[in-house]
Structure 1
Amino acid sequence: MDFHRSELASAMPGGVPDAMTVPVIRRLVRMRGTDTASPRCIALDGEIGVEVRCTIYDSRPSPCRDFAPYAPIGIGEDACDRARARHGLKPL
């Protein structure tokens, strides 16, 4: 998951911890663990399908903030459903 460097803690108070990212290109960084064959964000804690949480929820990057913005009103997110299916979980 890539996002602009301006979202890092080194660039703004409350930003994403720099140590949890790797550089992609000059202006982009990526959350560690999200570019592997079995992607798992370094900030994800717990067991998928049982209970998980984001350890940096309050400082998560914009792609996470934008993910499934309409879920609270019952509108699904295809990317979320695909991710859940990879782990044998039903769509929300």
Structure 2
Amino acid sequence: MSACTTCGACCACFRVDFAVYEMEDMGGSVPSGLAVEVNGSTMRMRGTDHVPIRCAALTGKVGERATCGIYEWRPSPCREFEEGSDACGRARQRHGLPPLALHGG
């Protein structure tokens, strides 16, 4: 299991906006109760526009045993987020975690 499926720092750091067609009731896979409408074409994961940020789909403790409750059904911004990227490092730093050593580090 990668750090990406146990860390959760990004799920408690960034706003997650995505197209309305990714919602389950619009033919996509994101469960309807976990997002709110921003406008007619954009949805936002619940909890990602509050302070402190924490996506409603995140369970567990960030950096220890955090899990996405809808990992298989998560929206495109989550699917496109890269483990070990600069944004990943910033999210981990905000939670007091070291950057990931991805290549033999």
Q: TM-score range by the shorter chain?
A: 0.7 to 0.9
Per-residue deviation, residues 25-82 of structure 1 (Å, max 9, x unmatched): 11000000001121110001110121111100110000000000xx4xxxx3111111
In structure 1, C-alpha distance between the alignment counterparts of 2:20 and 2:71, rounded to whole Å: 18
Partners of 1:67 and 1:20 in 2: how far apart?
A: 19
Q: In the alignment, residue 91 of structure 2 is paired with which amino acid?
A: A
Alignment pair present for 1:4 and 2:12? no
Q: Gaps (5+ residues) in structure 1?
A: none
Amino acid at match of 2:52: S
Q: Normalising to structure 2: TM-score of the pair? A: 0.77
Q: Which runs of 4+ in 1 moved over 3 A?
A: none
Higher RCO, Cα 8 Å, sep 6+:
2
Corresponding residue number in structure 1 for 2:13: none
Aligned pairs, number: 85
Secondary structure, aligned partner of 1:91? coil
Gap regions ≥5 residues in structure 2: 1-15, 101-105
> In the alignment, what sits opposite 1:51?
65
Q: TM-score, normalised by structure 1?
A: 0.87
Q: Which secondary structure state, in structure 2, belongs to the residue aligned with residue 48 of structure 1?
A: coil
Percentage of pairs with the same residue: 49
Over the aligned positions, Cα root-mean-square deviation in angstroms equals 1.0
